[in-house]
Chain A
C-alpha cells in the first residue's frame, strides 16, 4: 500500500464531513443505521483503516495453509468443483432409490439421504408414535433389508453418501457398511458422512434419543471404530445449519457450532483417543443465509477460528486436524410460501455466498420447500443453479475471491471476535453440554428468533412477497404428496421380515449388544453384528434405550 494511514484517514474524514454530509442533508439515506442480517452496523464505506491490524501471513495466508482462512485446499475449485449434493429421501426405499438414480443421471456428484422422523428417533414404522410420520420427511428405514433396496444399483465404492442421522447414527452407518459388504466393497473404500451431531439436536433440531453422556459415548465409539475400519468416512458433521434455522445470528451460528465441536474433541480425548487420529475426519455443516457478504465472512471466520482452537487448545499437529471442511445448505427458513418462484433467486444468492466462502459441498433448496417436499422439477432447477454458478459465473476460477475487500476482511474479524466472546461465555458455564442442559444456548437462539419476527412485523426487515410487494395469488398446484399407503406397506414389510429372519440370531445379537452397552466397550462391532441378523432399527435402539434411558429436554420459551 502506497498511502500512509494518516493520509487515508484524512481523505476519508474530509469526504464524510464534506460531500457526504452535504448530500445527506439534501437526500437522506434510506435508513440509519444500516445493519447486517445479524445486526452489525454496516458502514458507508470501508477503507484500509478498517483492517489496519490485519497480518496477511498470520491471519489469511495462502489457501490450504494454516489458519485456512482462504480455504482448505491449495487449488480449491480450480481442481474440482464442490460436491453437488441434494438432500433427498421420501416414502419408501424403492421411491428414494429412484430419486437418487435420477439425481445422479442429472449430474449430481454425491448422495444425501433424508430419513423419516421415526427412523431418526429410532422407532420402527409399526411403533405407535410412528403413525402418520412414516415416509413423510424422508425415507423410512427399518432394517438392513430397506437399506439394501435404498442403494440397489448404486455402487458404494463410486459415490460418496451423506446421511442425516444423529441419535441412531451408529446403526445406519452399520447398515451402510453391511450393504457395501454385500456389494463386495470393503469398508476402507467407503466415502461419506454421518451427521452424528447430537448436541445440536438438543439445541435446535429435536431428534435426540439418549441423554448426553451415553450419546457422547456412542459418538466417540464411532470416531474410534472409523479411524481403524472406515478411514475415509467423515464421522461427524458438526452442524450450525439447524442452529441458524432456529433463528440464531451468524456469530451465534459459528460460536455454538464450534462450542459443540470443542465438546466432541474433549469427549474423544477423554475417552483416550489421540487428537490427530480422529480430528482429520471431523466435518462441519453451515447455513447459507441471505446476507451475501456477511455469509462469506462467516465461513472464513469459522475456518480461522477452528484452526486456532485445534492448534492452541488441543495441540493438534496434523494440519488436517485444523482444517474446517464443511457442507452448506441454503437457508430453508428464508424461503417464502408467497410467490415461491422468488425462492430460486434467493437460493442463487445464498449458493453464491457458499461458493465464495469455499464450501466443500452444497445443497441448494428447491423453490417449493416452504410448502412441501420438493418435486423432481423443483429439485432439478435447484441443482442447475449450482451448475450455472460452477460452469458459467466464473466464481470458482480464483480462490477466495473476496479476500482483501476492506469490508469482507473487516466483518470476518468482527464475526470471529463475536464468536470468541460467546465461546468464552460457554467455557465459563462449563462447556457446551452444560450450557445446553441449562438452556443457555437455546435461550440465546430464541431471543434472536423472536427479535427477527418482530422486525419483520414492524417492517424493519423486508421479506419480498411477505411484507413488501405482496400480491394475491392462487393456491400452489402440483406439490409433492407422500402416499399415506407407505406407512401400511412399511408395517407389512416389518412383519414379513420378522417371519423370515432367524429369530435366534437376532436375540443373541441383541443381548450381546445390551451386555456390552452396560460396560465401556466400543459398541460399533456389536451394532454391525446385530444389523446383519436383520434386527430392526427399533429393536437395536430399544435395547440401548433400556440401558441408557431417554433424554428429557428442558422446555423454555
Chain B
C-alpha cells in the first residue's frame, strides 16, 4: 500500500474564521489523508516552515479576510526560496473570481470558492498529488 497523502491545512493572516478550515481538514482525514492543522494567525514563514518540517505533499490555505492577494504570493515566494516547490498549494475561502487568475499565476494550483463540495476538493488533491 502506498503512503497516505500528507496535507497541511493552514490559516494565514489574522483571520479567525476557521469553520471551513476545520471542515476540510476533517474531510481530508476521513478520506484517508494525514492532516495537520496549523490553527489561527500563521505568518507565511510559519506555514512554509511547518510544511517543510512535516514533509507534506500539499498545503491548503483558507482565508476569508480579503488578504489573499498579499499572503498567498508570499507563501509561493518562500516555497521557491526554500526549493520546496514540489509541495502543491491550493486555496479556499471568500476570494473574488477576478482574483483567481492572478493567484494561479503565482503558482497556486486551484482556488475553491464558497459552496464547493469537500468531495470535489478531495478528488482534486488525489489527482494532483502522485504518491
B67 near A201: Cβ-Cβ < 8 Å: no
B119 near A457: Cβ-Cβ < 8 Å: yes
User: Among A118, A206, A333, A557, which residue has its beta carbon within 8 angstroms of that of B16?
Assistant: A206
A residues near B77, Cβ cutoff 8 Å: none
Give A2 to B16 CA distance when docked, in angstroms: 56
Give A457 to B121 CA distance when docked, in angstroms: 12
A453 near B118: Cβ-Cβ < 8 Å: yes
B residues near A123, Cβ cutoff 8 Å: 14
Interface membership of A543, Cβ < 8 A: no
B114 near A118: Cβ-Cβ < 8 Å: no
User: Among B19, B65, B119, which residue has its beta carbon within 8 angstroms of that of A449?
Assistant: B19
Interface membership of A132, Cβ < 8 A: yes
On chain A, which size bracket covers the interface?
35 or more
B residues near A120, Cβ cutoff 8 Å: 14
B66 near A482: Cβ-Cβ < 8 Å: yes
B residues near A466, Cβ cutoff 8 Å: 115
Known A117-B14, A117-B65; contact A449-B70, beta-carbon cutoff 8 A: no
Give A132 to B15 CA distance when docked, in angstroms: 11
Residue in chain B with minimal CB distance to A451:
B23
Q: B residues 87-120 with Cβ under 8 Å of A? A: 94, 96-98, 113-115, 117-119
Chain B proximity of A440: nearest CB distance (Å): 15
A residues near B27, Cβ cutoff 8 Å: 450, 453
B96 near A555: Cβ-Cβ < 8 Å: no
On chain B, which size bracket covers the interface?
35 or more
Residue in chain A with minimal CB distance to B21:
A557
Interface membership of A159, Cβ < 8 A: no
Residue in chain A with minimal CB distance to B38:
A555
Known A372-B66, A557-B29; contact A118-B14, beta-carbon cutoff 8 A: yes
Give A553 to B40 CA distance when docked, in angstroms: 8
Residue in chain B with minimal CB distance to A121:
B14
User: Among A129, A131, A132, A338, which residue has its beta carbon within 8 angstroms of that of B115?
Assistant: A338
Interface membership of A479, Cβ < 8 A: yes
User: Among B39, B65, B71, B98, which residue has its beta carbon within 8 angstroms of that of A475?
Assistant: B98
User: Among B18, B38, B115, B119, which residue has its beta carbon within 8 angstroms of that of A206?
Assistant: B18
Known A132-B69, A370-B114, A372-B66; contact A247-B19, beta-carbon cutoff 8 A: yes
Known A129-B14, A333-B19, A466-B115; contact A137-B96, beta-carbon cutoff 8 A: no
Interface membership of B47, Cβ < 8 A: no
Closest 7 CB pairs of A and B: A206-B16, A132-B70, A132-B67, A117-B14, A555-B39, A136-B66, A475-B97
Given contacts A246-B18, A457-B118, A476-B96, could you give 5 more A-B pairs where the C-beta distance is less than 8 Å?
A: A132-B69, A206-B16, A207-B16, A481-B96, A557-B25
